[in-house]
Amino acid sequence: MKNEFSAIFERDGEWYIGYCPEIPGANGLGKTIEECRQNLIEAIKLILDDRRDDAFKSLPGDAIREVVLVG
């Protein structure tokens, strides 16, 4: 599955701070933009995995789960 998100990078002294406006709480930090980008990608993955896990915990036992492709 391919997902596209916005990554915003700002400089703060010696550090780069990155965040994804579409996913609240997804932030990255690094001495270089590349390091910051990689940390942000990992944060996005962790948040999405956690949200998916939480969503499936509350499904009734007889629910039908399918995968749909969007875009």
Does 42 map to a domain? yes
Residue span of the structural domain in which 18 resides: 8-57
Q: Domain tally for the chain?
A: 1
pLDDT computed for residue 30 by the predictor: 98
pLDDT in tens, 3-23: 899 999 999 999 999 999 999
Does 69 map to a domain? no
Residue 44's Cβ-count burial label (10 Å; 0-12, 13-18, 19+) is buried
Does 13 map to a domain? yes
| Cross-strand bridge partners of residue 9 | 18
Does 63 map to a domain? no
What's the predicted TM-score (pTM) here? 0.83
Show the beta-strand stretches assigned E in 1-71. Answer: 8-12, 15-19, 27-30
